Amino acid sequence: MTTQAPSALNFECETGNYHTFCPISCVAWLYQKIEDSFFLVIGTKTCGYFLQNAMGVMIFAEPRYAMAELEEGDISAKLNDYEELKRLCLEIKNNRNPSVIVWIGTCTTEIIKTDLEGIAPKLEAEIGVPIVVARANGLDYAFTQGEDMVLASMAMRCPTEAAKPETAKPEAAKPEEKAVLKDTRPNLKQLLSFGQRSQAVDAIASTPSPAEADPYVDHAPLILFGSLPDPVVTQLDLELKRQGIKVAGWLPTKHYGDLPVIEEGYYAVGVNPFLSRTATTLMRRRKCKVIGAPFPIGPDGTRAWIEKICSVLGIEPQGLEVRERQIWAGLEDYVQMVKGKSVFFMGDNLLEIALARFLIRCGMTCPEIGIPYMDKRYQAAELALLEKTCQEMGVPLPRIVEKPDNYNQIQRIQELQPDLVITGMAHANPLEARGISTKWSVEFTFAQIHGFGNARDILELVTRPLRRNSALEELGWDKLVEAAQV
């Protein structure tokens, strides 16, 4: 596969001196998503301090995460890693009894070269709890990429039909499925029996009302990957159901034991732009066909996402145009508010391309999209849609700045005076004090922003500073630092 970077978009790379969250922050949302998991971050006080402060109130709700805090004896190898981890993991097993322990490797375990991948299988066999290793460290990755590392490791734990644990879903042992299960011959046979299995899965996973006929068409199994809040999972499932598409499973699931079956030849599609390693793993190691689509963020993105899935599965999409139009009609008041305004993304969570594309469709201009890491292959369809959107809206193409330099960006912001800067909390208050409206970027990763129904929530976030500032406009004190310091 050749990399098809849209030629007209301008890509740059700066110094990488930018502010973002450490990727270990992914435990904050993943431990809530995977309800029977326990996340053990193997690192130092620095990591612990970050998590403690970044997670705020969540820390007090008996979180299923902890630090394995490395002490001087661990660094100088006076203590044995295996024995130390065994002691802590047994303690966790006894106190919390999780179905899986996820080890998060950090900068320190990288530098002292702790062989987490090597220790985990041995310890797993010894204590009888699955141990998944994800190296989500600040040496290599930024913020949301932490989830990518965890999901890539989990993708390797998804069962195959043959290896599917009988106990995971006792009711799954339907006769016709068992026939498939027992068949250990080459995958071709399994590929041919798709229709059969997907019906079987239907019967298990949902309880359709008796009046309703099977709403799904016959298509190859489709796996969705990316951690989303449960309500959003339901919404996207329902959205695909309208097209007759059955979602065979999500990576991750609410329970570790329910990770979906993944077989060679399955289709997979990502819901978030930062999941390139998971996509690669599904493609190369699990032999899935990953559908390259824009991401279901904004009504335009959601529609393009569904259309792409439909086209790959050979389905004629139904009623999407009308649906998109209705959603846009519902957004009109907010769209009017942002139309013609400019937005500058400083870049810290990899959602930037998709969000910029949506906001340009809303009528905004975007001089710069900062982004920590740009996978032009995984995001190819999203980049193409961004370019198309700019052309259709008649606005200049943004410059895309990978590994941005925050200091330089601040200079550019001072020069451009954008109407809105989407940035981290480190810069938000200082920019506001200088009369520049900001939106805290991290909120986009925690808010529900996917699918048709949540487009309004994105604009709710984007317009909030604009609404607040127009409410205070007449007061006149918009610049609150002394002139010399501006």
Could you say which residues in the range 71-110 bind other proteins, by CB under 8 A?
71-72, 74-75, 79, 84-85, 87-88, 91-92, 107-108, 110
Q: Show contacts with other proteins in window 160-179 (CB under 8 A).
A: none
Q: Show contacts with other proteins in window 351-410 (CB under 8 A).
A: 407, 410
d(CA 465, CA 446): 18
Q: Which is nearer to other proteins, 10 or 411 (CB)?
A: 411
Minimum gap (Å) between residue 73 Cβ and other proteins: 9
Stretch near other proteins under the rule CB under 8 A, chosen from 42-50, 168-176, 177-185, 269-277: 42-50
Pairing of strands 10-13, 420-423: unpaired
Burial class, 170, CB count within 10 angstroms (exposed 0-12 / middle 13-18 / buried 19+): exposed
Sole binder of other proteins in the list 6, 48, 215, 265 (CB under 8 A): 48
The H or E element spanning position 296 is: none
Q: Which is nearer to other proteins, 398 or 404 (CB)?
A: 404
Q: Which is nearer to other proteins, 257 or 430 (CB)?
A: 430
Q: Show contacts with other proteins in window 234-273 (CB under 8 A).
A: 234-235, 238
| Three-state DSSP class for residue 477 | coil
Q: Which is nearer to other proteins, 44 or 153 (CB)?
A: 44
CA trace torsion 49, 50, 55, 59 (10° rounding)? -20
Minimum gap (Å) between residue 290 Cβ and other proteins: 26
DSSP 201-240: HHHHH----TTS---------EEEES---HHHHHHHHHHH
Asked if 345 touches other proteins (CB under 8 A), the answer is no
Say which residues have a Cβ less than 8 Å from residue 80's Cβ, sequence separation at least 6.
none
Tell me the chain's radius of gyration from C-alpha atoms: 24
Q: Which is nearer to other proteins, 11 or 50 (CB)?
A: 50
The H or E element spanning position 305 is: helix 298-313
Count of CB atoms situated within 10 Å of the CB of 98: 22
Structure tokens at 186: 């080459």
Asked if 220 touches other proteins (CB under 8 A), the answer is no
| Three-state DSSP class for residue 423 | strand
Q: Which is nearer to other proteins, 27 or 381 (CB)?
A: 27
Count of CB atoms situated within 10 Å of the CB of 56: 9
Asked if 477 touches other proteins (CB under 8 A), the answer is no
Asked if 209 touches other proteins (CB under 8 A), the answer is yes
Asked if 468 touches other proteins (CB under 8 A), the answer is no
List % helix, strand, coil for the chain (3-state, nearest 5).
50, 15, 35
Asked if 137 touches other proteins (CB under 8 A), the answer is yes
Sole binder of other proteins in the list 4, 17, 311, 417 (CB under 8 A): 17
d(CA 63, CA 423): 28
Sole binder of other proteins in the list 45, 169, 182, 339 (CB under 8 A): 45
Minimum gap (Å) between residue 81 Cβ and other proteins: 8
Q: Which is nearer to other proteins, 201 or 331 (CB)?
A: 331
Say which residues have a Cβ less than 8 Å from residue 75's Cβ, sequence separation at least 6.
108, 112
Minimum gap (Å) between residue 89 Cβ and other proteins: 10
Minimum gap (Å) between residue 70 Cβ and other proteins: 6
Q: Which is nearer to other proteins, 26 or 290 (CB)?
A: 26
Sole binder of other proteins in the list 183, 230, 321, 392 (CB under 8 A): 230
Asked if 207 touches other proteins (CB under 8 A), the answer is yes
d(CA 157, CA 34): 14
Q: Show contacts with other proteins in window 322-341 (CB under 8 A).
A: 326-327, 329-331
Structure tokens at 410: 């601040």
Structure tokens at 393: 């809206």
Stretch near other proteins under the rule CB under 8 A, chosen from 127-135, 185-193, 225-233, 387-395: 225-233
Stretch near other proteins under the rule CB under 8 A, chosen from 6-14, 151-159, 228-236, 385-393: 228-236
Minimum gap (Å) between residue 24 Cβ and other proteins: 8
3-state SS, one letter per residue, for 361-401: HCCCEEEEEEECCCCCCCCHHHHHHHHHHHHHHCCCCCEEE
Minimum gap (Å) between residue 390 Cβ and other proteins: 25
Q: Show contacts with other proteins in window 400-439 (CB under 8 A).
A: 407, 410, 424-430, 433
Stretch near other proteins under the rule CB under 8 A, chosen from 13-21, 184-192, 253-261, 282-290: 13-21
Sole binder of other proteins in the list 50, 307, 312, 416 (CB under 8 A): 50
User: Which of 223, 218, 243, 219 lies closest to 233 in space, CA to CA?
Assistant: 223
d(CA 34, CA 99): 10
Q: Which is nearer to other proteins, 44 or 278 (CB)?
A: 44
Range list of β-strands (E), 78-184: 100-105, 131-135
User: Which of 235, 242, 259 lies closest to 164 in space, CA to CA?
Assistant: 259
Structure tokens at 124: 């797993």
Sole binder of other proteins in the list 66, 101, 247, 248 (CB under 8 A): 66
Sole binder of other proteins in the list 452, 458, 463, 465 (CB under 8 A): 452
